[in-house]
Structure 1
Amino acid sequence: MKYNQLGQSDLRVSEIGFGCMSIGTEESKALRLVHEALDQGINFLDTADLYDDGRNEELVGKAIRGRRSEVILATKVGNRRLSGQEGWVWDPSKSYIKSAVKDSLRRLGTDYIDLYQLHGGTLDDPIEETVQAFEELKQEGVIRYYGISSIRPKVIQEYISKSNVISVMSQYSILDRRPEEEILPLIAEHGVSLIARGALAKGILTEDGAAKADQGYMEYTPEQLAALRENLRKVSERRHSLHHTALRYPLYHPAVAAIIPGASSVHQLVKNVQEGEGDGLTPEQFSKIQSLSYPGQYDPEHRLK
């Protein structure tokens, strides 16, 4: 397993991390998945207080008990559930962040979080107040570093310009190349790392993804996906699979420190590690993939909020 520096921090994360949202709520299965991830050399685990109403954090916490020193632990904050109401509201206030972190620490069974991420963001946020909350938590030793999870270029730009975020988490894959136009150049300029989620595009970019491709994806029709999958197999050549190509594509950009594919079974998890290892894409392969796929653009809503 290769480990990369996350932004300008002293955190070194496995280039293949584990998106823990997929572990489910059944304890024995969830613990088995996280333990297998660690045994495979994955040290970067990503969760959020929102997932399964906090249950996900609890399970991750149980799984890393006794192995905390092996883990770069990331979680998220900002989506607040209100008692008696369905869904959640966005709350990036200092008071809420400093309250919510205590609940996350308790559920995770730890006294510090390596990477605390704002789980969204808008241009209407009280950004200075929000940043102050994270900075105070750093000073208190409750968190080591902080970042933002967002697909909104203008929001990311604002937080990068007004804070010490070390990372941006965003969807990035062969089928969603939107970060290439605005986000990747921005973060590369400021020494911030991208954590890429969705590299396998809901499983479409795996050998067994034909049925999922029949449902379409973003601007791609089922017919376009079928043709693209076939062309990507040719780009992959004999040595590598479609799965491998999909995982290595985001990692080609030097600003991408890690990808965080999820897995709901040990087989899927091990497959992700095995397929993600090995040679990266050549410049020729990367260029060919770009010529076969859509560059994509963020819609106006994502530009303005």
Structure 2
Amino acid sequence: MTTDDSPLPTRSLGELKVPAQGLGCLSMTSFYARSDPAEALATVHQAIDRGVTLLDTADVQGLGEGERMLGKAVAGRRDRALISTKVGLERDHSGEFLGVRGDRAYIRERCHGSLRRLGVEHLDLYVKHWAAPGERIEEAVGALAELVAEGKVRHLCLSEVSADTIRRAHAVHPITAVQSEWSLWSRGIEEQVVATCRELGIGIIASCPLGRGFLTDRIRSTADLGPAEDFRHALPRFSATGLPRNLAVVEALRPPAAKRGITVAQLALAWLHHQGDDVVPIPGTARRDHLEENLAAASLQLSPEERAAVEAAVPAAAVHGDRYPPFLMQLVDN
């Protein structure tokens, strides 16, 4: 496994300059197998010490637990951290998903809650989480623009929305970045969203760049997932029928990874890093060893022949199953 503690390259998210790789904090508090809180905290500290600035969470992660954990982690390190959190996915106190919201009152209320849980005076990036069918994104962005004017938010971001929604939002207030799934496992944004972002000067934050852990080559069966509450059990690509078929994706990546002396995860991340200087992957982990493995990929150079071999091994249509179950699929890419 290649590791590298050299400084991270710099990328551009709109006018915001950031290191080439961020850290997704989802797995630290919810949705996957329960992580060790002390190790999760140490992972954030090590990421900051290694030069990672972009730290991503959401208000729905652990019903606010994710924001509280990140706030604790950046205390005393705030000047070295760019905090990104999200608003728009509504859950009740039991965790049940209620839907997507973008009305002004809701956004303002949730922003103030996020600031309180994080223990900060402003959010560096505030992300509108998805858009419901027919949602007036103009209202949501108008509310976010008010928060920018008030100094509570520095930059606006959208998540998992269509090219048309990006254009409409950007016309209300400049959008710094769009955060959507992008990896060898999920390449849908290559159809329209990437080109639209580049036309408008919007950066791209690639979430789930390791396919929710699948491209780490550590998941061989559903037994390798977390306990029953691990939400991947509900995703078609990880189902008892989908996962065995998708193992071919990882198997195809092993030979080129072995040839370079790197892991499958590092190869997958390196491929994504070569998609442009406006792309910043945010692989998630709650472990320091996995953090170091991921960071090494930011400095890996792949030749055009190596990139072509990767894409030939895993064409865009190679993955079986949707990213989410039907009731959630209708809420993305609107």
TM-score (norm 2): 0.80
Deviations 1:158-214 (A, max 9, x none): 434544111111111112121111211111111111111122113222243444699
Q: Is the counterpart of residue 18 in structure 1 residue 23 in structure 2? A: yes
Do structure 1's residue 289 and structure 2's residue 310 form an aligned pair?
yes
Structure 1, residues 231-257: CA drift from partner, whole Å, max 9, x if none?
Answer: 323333234332211111222111643
1:234 partnered with 2:255: yes
* Partner SS for 2:84: strand
Identify the range of structure 1 (111-120 vs 20-29) with the bigger mean alpha-carbon deviation.
20-29
Work out whether residues 10 and 19 of structure 2, in 8 Å CA contact, stay in contact via their aligned partners in 1: yes
What's the counterpart of residue 2 of structure 1?
9
Q: Among residues 280, 302, 306, which one is paired with 1:258 in the alignment? A: 280
TM-score (ref. length: structure 1)? 0.87
Paired with 1:304 and 1:45, the residues of 2 have a C-alpha distance of 24
Q: Work out the number of aligned pairs and report it.
A: 302
| SS of residue in 2 equivalent to 1:205 | helix
Secondary structure of 1:204's counterpart equals: helix
CA–CA distance in structure 1, aligned partners of residues 250 and 100 of structure 2? 38
- State which of 177, 192, 195 in structure 2 corresponds to 1:182: 192
Distance 1:98 1:303 in 2: 22
Partner of residue 98 from structure 2, selected from 76, 88, 104: 88
- Kept in 2: contact 1:177–1:295 (CA 8 A): yes
Per the alignment, residue 131 of structure 1 pairs with: 141
Output the CA distance in 2 between the equivalents of 1:173 and 1:213: 23
Provide closer, same or farther for how the CA distance between residues 277 and 90 of structure 1 changes in structure 2, counting only shifts above 3 A: closer
Q: Tell me, in whole angstroms, the C-alpha distance in 2 between the residues paired with 1:159 and 1:111.
A: 25
> Which of 140, 148, 155 is the matching residue for 1:145?
155
Deviates further, 63-72 or 27-36: 27-36
Matched letter for residue 293 of structure 1: V
Give, in whole Å, the separation in 2 of the partners of 1:304 and 1:17: 23
Q: What is aligned with 1:77?
A: 87
Identify the residue that residue 291 of structure 2 maps to in structure 1: 269
Q: 1 CA distance for matches of 2:216 and 2:97?
A: 32
* Secondary structure of residue in 2 paired with 1:168: strand
Bigger mean CA offset, 150-159 vs 42-51: 150-159
Q: What displacement does 1:84 show?
A: 8.0
Alignment check: 8 A CA contact 2:122 2:152 kept? yes
Name the SS for the 1:202 alignment partner. Answer: helix
Task: Name the CA distance, whole Å, in 2 between partners of 1:58 and 1:38.
Answer: 17
Give % identity: 29
Q: Which whole-Å deviations, capped at 9, do the CAs of 1:258-285 have from their partners, x for residues lacking one?
A: 11111132222222223x2332322222
| 2:237 is aligned with 1:217 | yes
Counterpart contact for 2:138–2:169, Cα < 8 Å: no
Answer with 284-293 or 63-72: which moved more.
284-293
Which residue in the other structure is 1:31 paired with?
A: 41
Question: Is this contact kept in 1: 2:131–2:137, CA < 8 A?
Answer: no
Deviates more, 1:63-72 or 1:221-230: 221-230
Q: 1:249 aligns with which of 246, 271, 282?
A: 271
Give the gaps of 5 or more residues in structure 2: 1-7, 30-34, 226-235
What's the RMSD between the two structures over aligned residues? 3.0
Asked whether the 8 Å contact 2:160–2:333 carries over to 1, the reply is no
Question: Which residue of 106, 115, 124 corresponds with 2:116?
Answer: 106
